[in-house]
Amino acid sequence: MAVRGTRAAAFSALVIPGGYSPDRLRLRHAILDLIRDALAANIPVGAVGHGPQVLISANVISGRTITCWPSIAIDVTNAGGLYVDRPVAEDRGIITARKIDDIGPFVETILRLAC
């Protein structure tokens, strides 16, 4: 599905993958708008590993508790987020996980909020 023209209301939740994809996703204004729209509509937004880089670019983590891959913890802090080193963090519609090993509790949290 193309992101341009897509509305957040079409989804129960959004999930940003980790790895190298966040570096490309964060350059797409339509993605950043979709994330902001989802949060404004109380639609959960999840991010794993490096995924919070997209949240940083969307300017939505200030004042929120975030976990992530350790190498971007300083980026989270610099963007105004409260970094925590735990498997999953949930704060006002944003659900984050450190790595793929934390995916079980991450998915459980998203399902609880999306359903």
Residue 50 maps to a domain: yes
Phi (first) and psi of residue 24, to 5 degrees: -85, -40
Residue 7 maps to a domain: no
Cα–Cα dist 105/108, whole Å = 5
Residue 62 maps to a domain: yes
**For residue range 48-97, what is the model confidence (pLDDT) as tens digits?**
999 999 999 999 999 999 999 999 999 999 999 999 999 999 999 999 99
User: What is the number of other CB atoms lying within 10 angstroms of the CB of residue 42?
Assistant: 10
User: Residue 104 pLDDT more than 80?
Assistant: yes
pTM, entire model: 0.94
Residue 95 maps to a domain: yes
Cα–Cα dist 5/107, whole Å = 27
Q: Which domain holds residue 62?
A: 13-114
Percent of the chain with pLDDT over 70: 98
CATH of the domain at 34: 3.40.50.880
**What pLDDT is attached to residue 1?**
62
Residue 8 maps to a domain: no
Q: Which amino acid is at 67?
A: T
Residues annotated as part of the active site: 50
What total number of domains does the chain contain?
A: 1
Residue 1 maps to a domain: no
